């Protein structure tokens, strides 16, 4: 996976790229992983301005996309920022494997072959349940692999 970053500090960029690559390797086949392009925009005040920690969208084809842009808030704690990258990488996997598709003209989503209306509560959306369910585990495994698990900033 080719990863480019904009914004943020040197440390934020280093860690964001590292966890994005780690999550991508864990979530996708090697063949798919090697075809992806990811642009990460480390953006201050997303929480304040838009009420989100981050988001991710495809930039090329709606079906089986390979190019993505991810935005992540840099004003949150480093652990939260990196968990957000892990969360958004689950969405990258969902889009790239065509598990998740936004059907904007129909005002609904398709996830794992099932259709869901866009007016669902965020925390009931199954694609968000998967992403929230995996973000902490991906972060902890990444921290352990990089000998960061005992650092104070990686603790809850």
Does residue 56 have a pLDDT over 90?
yes
CA-to-CA distance for 69 and 37, rounded, in angstroms? 9
Among residues of the chain, what percentage have pLDDT more than 70?
100
Closest by Cα among 4, 94, 25 to 57 = 94
- pLDDT tens digit string along 73-122? 999 999 999 999 999 999 999 999 999 998 877 789 999 999 998 888 99
Domains of the chain and any CATH numbers: 2-149 (3.40.390)
For β-strands 67-73 and 54-58, DSSP reports them as antiparallel
- pLDDT tens digit string along 110-122? 999 999 988 889 9
Residue 105: predicted pLDDT: 73
Written as one string, the DSSP assignment of the chain is -EEEEESS-HHHHHHHHHHHHHHHHHHS-HHHHTT-EEEEEEETTHHHHHS-SEEEEESS-SSS--EEEEEEESSS-HHHHHHHHHHHHHHHHHHHTTSEEEEGGGTEEEETTEEEETTS-GGG-HHHHHHHHHHHHHHHHHHHHTT-TTSGGG--
CA angle 68, 109, 66 (to 5 degrees): 20
Residue 133: predicted pLDDT: 97
Residue 72: predicted pLDDT: 98
């Amino acid at each position: 996976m080719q990863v480019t970053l904009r914004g943020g500090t040197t440390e934020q960029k280093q860690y964001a790229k590292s966890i994005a690559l780690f999550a991508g390797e864990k979530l996708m086949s090697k063949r798919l992983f090697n075809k992806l392009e990811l642009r990460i925009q480390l953006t201050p005040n997303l929480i304040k301005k838009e009420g989100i920690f981050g988001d991710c969208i495809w930039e090329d084809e709606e079906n089986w996309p390979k190019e993505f842009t991810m935005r992540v808030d840099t004003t949150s704690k480093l652990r939260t920022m990196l968990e957000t990258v892990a969360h958004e990488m689950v969405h990258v996997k969902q889009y790239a494997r065509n598990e998740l598709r936004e059907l904007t003209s129909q005002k609904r989503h398709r996830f794992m072959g099932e259709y869901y209306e866009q007016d669902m509560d965020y925390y009931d959306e199954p694609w968000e349940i998967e992403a929230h369910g995996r973000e902490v585990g991906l972060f902890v495994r990444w921290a352990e692999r990089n000998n960061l698990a005992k650092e104070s900033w990686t603790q809850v």
